[in-house]
């Protein structure tokens, strides 16, 4: 029997040092005094520097929410811009604490790359943009077309899958960055460009000359659940990042906003009392101050507020909530209860 158990025990003991090292992200962040967040180099509405170089967008505000929860101060965050080629490397290497950019959550990224998915912050799908003058009403009419696409992403694979499924010929023109892809599309080097529909909507108003001369086709050829990722191995840090997103969604559901959060501290609703730290114990469970969720809402806002000012009716992009609305209004945003 020892022949079988001793090698097993030795193998488990060999893992102990690596497991001990793997769970230190939370302590490292606290000791450093700020969160390091990997974001996109620039997609309007998600993460893009403004005229002063300050990152704005849904993903950037999520990073601020994490800082507000951990430190009580949403400004204690440092943004690291990442490309399609570097986004996973900086997370695996520990250069960033959380990757909060428009990254699709998939099985292989969870397993082979060693990332934990901390919830979906935006439900998206891959679409196509074409010039109006092309008179194309459906992506199925792209037979024989050249389509601009980025490398090493789910987008490139989805494009090939779509062409195979619809039995049409599509010639991909692979470009290394969003700027290159946008420039190539406007120069007429491709007949269409494809990426997540939300990015197309952002590019149309922020980077395309004569936005009204271009249209986003109605088809969505994939599921693209976007959200923050952290490394495997630190359950406490994963819990913190996950519950930050859930708290923002739950706050919108219960009508707690930046404007009324102080007043809502006097609510008799036990759900709101737990969320805002009136009922103690929930911050302690995460290793945070009891006011962690209060600080998120007070300094950054609930999910709906963040969506509206960056992507929705309060922004130049003007996206409808759609799937990103609350479950009570026909959307998919449904948070685990804070209890």
Question: In the structure, what pLDDT confidence band is assigned to residue 42 with cuts at 50, 70 and 90?
Answer: confident
110 & 231 share domain: yes
Q: How far apart are CA 46 and CA 39, in angstroms?
A: 9
Q: How far apart are CA 154 and CA 104, in angstroms?
A: 7
Q: What is the pLDDT of residue 23?
A: 60
For residues 190-205, average pLDDT: 92
| Inter-residue contact 286 to 338 (CB < 8 Å) | no
Tell me, yes or no, whether 230 lies in a domain: yes
Tokens linked to 236: 């406490």
Tell me, yes or no, whether 18 lies in a domain: no
In percent, the amount of the chain with pLDDT more than 90 equals 81
pLDDT in tens, 282-319: 999 999 999 999 999 999 999 999 999 999 998 989 89
In percent, the amount of the chain with pLDDT more than 70 equals 93
On the question of pLDDT at 152 being above 80, the answer is: no
46 & 174 share domain: no
On the question of pLDDT at 137 being above 80, the answer is: yes
pLDDT in tens, 5-35: 333 333 433 333 333 344 689 999 999 999 9
119 & 162 share domain: no
pLDDT in tens, 92-124: 999 999 999 988 898 999 999 999 999 999 999
CATH code of the domain covering residue 70: 3.40.190.10
Split into its structural domains, the chain has a count of 2
pLDDT in tens, 167-182: 999 999 999 888 899 9
Backbone angles phi, psi at 37, to 5 degrees: -120, 125
Q: What is the pLDDT of residue 9?
A: 32
Tell me, yes or no, whether 4 lies in a domain: no
261 & 188 share domain: no
- Range(s) of the domain holding residue 246: 23-123+226-321
Domain end among 182, 206, 222? 222
Tell me, yes or no, whether 67 lies in a domain: yes
Tell me, yes or no, whether 338 lies in a domain: no
Tokens linked to 162: 């779509």
For residues 55-77, average pLDDT: 98
Tokens linked to 47: 């993460």
49 & 71 share domain: yes
Tell me, yes or no, whether 164 lies in a domain: yes
Tell me, yes or no, whether 16 lies in a domain: no
182 & 315 share domain: no
137 & 286 share domain: no
Tell me, yes or no, whether 235 lies in a domain: yes
On the question of pLDDT at 234 being above 50, the answer is: yes
């Amino acid at each position: 029997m020892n022949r079988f158990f001793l090698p097993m025990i030795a193998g488990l003991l060999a893992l102990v040092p690596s497991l001990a090292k793997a769970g230190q992200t939370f302590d490292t962040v606290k000791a450093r005094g700020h969160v390091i967040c990997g974001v996109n180099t620039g997609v309007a509405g998600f993460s893009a520097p403004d005229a002063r170089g300050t990152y704005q967008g849904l993903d950037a505000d999520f990073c601020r929410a994490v800082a507000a929860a951990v430190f009580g101060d949403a400004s204690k965050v440092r943004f690291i811009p990442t490309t399609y080629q570097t986004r996973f490397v900086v997370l695996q290497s520990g250069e960033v604490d959380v990757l909060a950019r428009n990254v699709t959550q998939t099985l292989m990224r969870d397993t082979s790359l060693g990332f934990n998915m901390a919830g979906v912050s935006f439900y998206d799908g891959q679409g196509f943009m074409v010039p109006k003058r092309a008179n194309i009403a459906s992506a199925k009419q792209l037979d024989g077309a050249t389509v601009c696409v980025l490398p090493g992403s789910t987008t490139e694979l989805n494009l090939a899958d779509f062409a195979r499924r619809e039995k049409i010929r599509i010639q991909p023109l692979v470009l290394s960055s969003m700027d290159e892809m946008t420039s190539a599309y406007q120069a007429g080097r491709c007949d269409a460009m494809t990426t997540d529909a939300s990015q197309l909507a952002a590019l149309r108003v922020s980077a395309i000359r004569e936005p009204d001369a271009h249209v986003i086709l109605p088809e969505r050829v994939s599921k693209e659940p976007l959200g923050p990722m952290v490394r495997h191995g630190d359950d406490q840090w994963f819990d913190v990042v996950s519950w930050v997103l859930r708290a923002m969604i739950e706050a919108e559901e219960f009508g707690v906003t930046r404007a009324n959060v102080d007043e809502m501290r006097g609510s008799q609703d036990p759900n709101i009392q737990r969320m805002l730290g009136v009922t103690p114990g929930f911050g302690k469970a995460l290793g945070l101050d009891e006011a962690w969720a209060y600080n998120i809402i007070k300094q950054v806002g609930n999910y709906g507020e963040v969506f509206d000012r960056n992507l929705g009716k309060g922004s130049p992009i003007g996206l409808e909530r759609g799937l990103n609305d609350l479950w009570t209004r026909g959307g998919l945003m449904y948070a685990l209860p804070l209890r």
